[in-house]
Structure 1
Amino acid sequence: MVQRAEAVRPQQMSKGKTAYKILFIIGMCHLLNDSIQAVIPAMFPILEKSMGLSFTQLGIIAFALNIVSSILQPVIGMVTDKRPMPYALPLALAFTFVGVLMLAAAPNFEMIILSVILIGLGSAGFHPQGSRVAYMGAGQRRGLAQSIYQVGGNSGQALAPLITALILVPFGQKGAFFFSIVAAAAVGLLVYIARWYSLKLGEEQRQAKGKRTVQKRSRKVVKSVRISLILILFLIFARSWYIAGMTNFYSFFAIDKYGLTISEAQMFLFAFLVAGAVGTFFGGPLADRFGKKNIILLSMLGTLPVTVVLPFVSAAAAFFLLILSGFILMLSFSVTVVYAQELVPGKIGTMAGLTVGLAFGMGAVGSVGLGYLADIIGLPNTIILTGFLPFLGILTMFLPSDDTLESWNRQ
């Protein structure tokens, strides 16, 4: 008995020229989208003071934002793998635009929750389709295309603390109105992308006629793929839990431990996220040379010594260690996406939704859990415990090797 796994691989698309213009535009849209999404946790110190919110309430805000995106991204990925919808891209950022306006004017906790749900809906609509656009524009440079797309998103997250320090600290909650301009710019760019996307879909469909391939995988391989997919998702969750702890709560820790201002604490977070964006860019080429599994293992276990000692060092040392940990940890970001796509070939949007979207959801669960833990045992102890999360990277050793993946895809 064999398990049939239909894998319509648009390889003919990857044989064309690399559409650098499209890749940089979709990367820029990813930057704009994720900068808006990342501004919400960066606003936490401001919201805590202006509304008197507890750590648990702040965790719930992060949960509302990320769980909507995480639940819908895999669903939207599955739907668009079967039926791509180019003009859903600008529509998604229109939801984000409305959510940002509501966030800036929100008078209470409940309205903030509603506004971040809309922003989460926008993110859910953008990411799976954005990943497909990056794939279609990759030509023969699929790794480079993934790096450009993912670095755009991580750079957007890195910019959020800087923008917060420059805009939200002096202007408060009302400063969020600035990001409605960012959302409007993204909508305009995505209308252009949607037109290109529609034309490219027509070309892809014409080229794919008569070229549909059906792979047959044995039951043993199918079972191994499922176990490996669960394992890679768990590793992504562990990484997301650590990042959630840092982005949502480290600024409070730095303010208390080092006597920093909100703006100074945001600079620490900015350094962590910028280093992560740089790590994301270099992770792909390193994986091409040394193997995806090896880079994932290095990313997780290589971060562990740094994250364990981070809470106990001076402010200057902490700043350096944040840069180092951000770079090493995020080496695996784009690599895990590609690894999952090779586990289940032909499901570009679905795997993007699972590895990126669902990861945000687990970060949301982690935010609530870490916020609750901080309220019980205190923030310093919570940060210390969070530093041990990268140890779960030891599970990478049980993933199939790159050569094994290649042999499965040849069957």
Structure 2
Amino acid sequence: MSFTLVGLLSLAFANTLPFVLCSVALVGIGSSVFHPEASRLTSLASGGKRGLAQSLFQVGGNLGGSLGPLLAAVFVAPYGRRHIALFSILAFIAIMVMIPVGHWYKGLLLRLKRAEGVTAKVHIQTPLPMGKTVFSITILLILIFSKYIYMASLNSYYTFYLIHKFGVSVQASQLYLFVFLIATAIGTLLGGPIGDRVGRKYVIWASILGAAPFTLIMPHVENLYLTAVLSFCVGLTLSSAFPAILVYAQELLPYKLGLISGLFFGFAFGVAGIASAVLGNMADRYGIEAVYNVCGYMPLIGLVTWFLPDLKKKG
């Protein structure tokens, strides 16, 4: 959170491209350090309802992400980039919140170590043999790949798409992006607890493959408001996958929660970053609409969910 605070402050006053890049890198470091360990903490604090806990944790980030464009439209677009410094207040509040949480976390780890000893992981059984575990994690990473390529196309280029195709203003495009991002927050909140109840494999099926009809139709729609509705449906369905995927992976290796969280968050962030650059180059060369015509097929990769074992039945 300290990296994030410094990054926001420096971004507000950056006056050269290298300075801007350093500023956003600081924010990125803050996010990448925070997410894996916070996800591990969330699992330990879940009381057995790991899907619900993971959804609540991630919906905080999605809600903040959805409010970002709205706040940018209200404070930054009309009044200038220096107003980004106001958001550093939120980072400072988060630091204050993390202090008692950190004390609780430290105490919990000490109690677990005293109660179980350093060999506790020997007593934790994995649900699948190691070969099938590696295969299942590979399938989950493929699903993350398909999900975050499409999410990157919307997060990074949806506003340009609306401006280019429908001629909306910058501020209006931010409001439409907010509609999509608030849908991702709702979907994230639903994905975890539904996975707890019916099984995570079924949530992954419905989430990634279920988004395909909306992503395939959206580039061919000529109505602005119908496009917004379709983007809402895409955000709602696609976003419900990540809590289910992450908790599924944690259940495959229950004594490696930090490793799994770091692997999946790192891969998701990395895919999103690389995809943004590749899609930007594609948009420059072939046009912004070509990006959505191609990316619309990405959710069909969700068919590989067929190869995942159903851990709920095994349990």
Q: Where on the TM-score scale, by shorter chain, does this alignment land: which range?
A: over 0.9
Alignment-derived partner of residue 316 in structure 1? 225
| Aligned partners of 2:146 and 2:298 also within 8 Å | yes
Which range moves more in the overlay, 371-380 or 395-404? Answer: 395-404
| Aligned partners of 1:158 and 1:274 also within 8 Å | yes
| Aligned partners of 1:231 and 1:399 also within 8 Å | yes
Q: Does 1:292 align with 2:193?
A: no
Change (3 A) 1:214 1:261: same
Alignment-derived partner of residue 73 in structure 2? 165
Q: Does 1:386 align with 2:295?
A: yes
Distance, in Å, in 2 between the alignment partners of 1:343 and 1:286 is 19
Q: Does 1:224 align with 2:135?
A: no
Which of the numbers 111, 115, 119 marks the counterpart of 2:19?
111
Change (3 A) 1:340 1:405: farther
| Aligned partners of 2:203 and 2:240 also within 8 Å | yes
Change (3 A) 1:138 1:386: same
| Aligned partners of 1:250 and 1:383 also within 8 Å | no
Distance, in Å, in 2 between the alignment partners of 1:282 and 1:117 is 31
Which range moves more in the overlay, 116-125 or 335-344? Answer: 116-125
Which of the numbers 319, 325, 339 marks the counterpart of 2:248?
339
Post-superposition offset of 1:403:
4.5
Runs of 4+ in 1 over 4 A off after TM superposition: 215-218
Post-superposition offset of 1:272:
0.9
Change (3 A) 1:133 1:289: closer
| Aligned partners of 1:307 and 1:388 also within 8 Å | yes
Change (3 A) 1:216 1:273: closer
SS at match of 2:168: coil
Alignment-derived partner of residue 276 in structure 2? 367
Q: Does 1:151 align with 2:89?
A: no
Post-superposition offset of 1:215:
5.8
Alignment-derived partner of residue 17 in structure 1? none
RMSD: 1.9
Distance, in Å, in 2 between the alignment partners of 1:341 and 1:140 is 13
Post-superposition offset of 1:213:
4.3
TM-score (norm 2): 0.94
Distance, in Å, in 2 between the alignment partners of 1:203 and 1:322 is 46
Distance, in Å, in 1 between the alignment partners of 2:47 and 2:113 is 16
| Aligned partners of 1:162 and 1:267 also within 8 Å | yes
For these two proteins, the number of residue pairs brought into alignment is 313
Distance, in Å, in 2 between the alignment partners of 1:135 and 1:393 is 26
| Aligned partners of 1:342 and 1:405 also within 8 Å | no
Post-superposition offset of 1:374:
0.7
Which of the numbers 114, 132, 145 marks the counterpart of 2:40?
132
Counterpart amino acid of residue 119 in structure 1: V
Segments of structure 1 that go 5 or more residues without pairing to the other structure are: 1-92, 407-411
Which of the numbers 157, 166, 169 marks the counterpart of 1:261?
169
Distance, in Å, in 1 between the alignment partners of 2:131 and 2:313 is 14
Identity among equivalent positions (%) equals: 37
Post-superposition offset of 1:165:
1.0
Distance, in Å, in 2 between the alignment partners of 1:283 and 1:246 is 20
Change (3 A) 1:215 1:198: closer
Segments of structure 2 that go 5 or more residues without pairing to the other structure are: none
TM-score (norm 1): 0.73
- 1:377-396 CA distance string (max 9 Å, x none): 11111122111111111111
Alignment-derived partner of residue 307 in structure 1? 215
Distance, in Å, in 2 between the alignment partners of 1:344 and 1:123 is 24
Q: After superposition, where does 1:47-58 map in structure 2 within 5 Å? A: none
Distance, in Å, in 2 between the alignment partners of 1:213 and 1:352 is 17
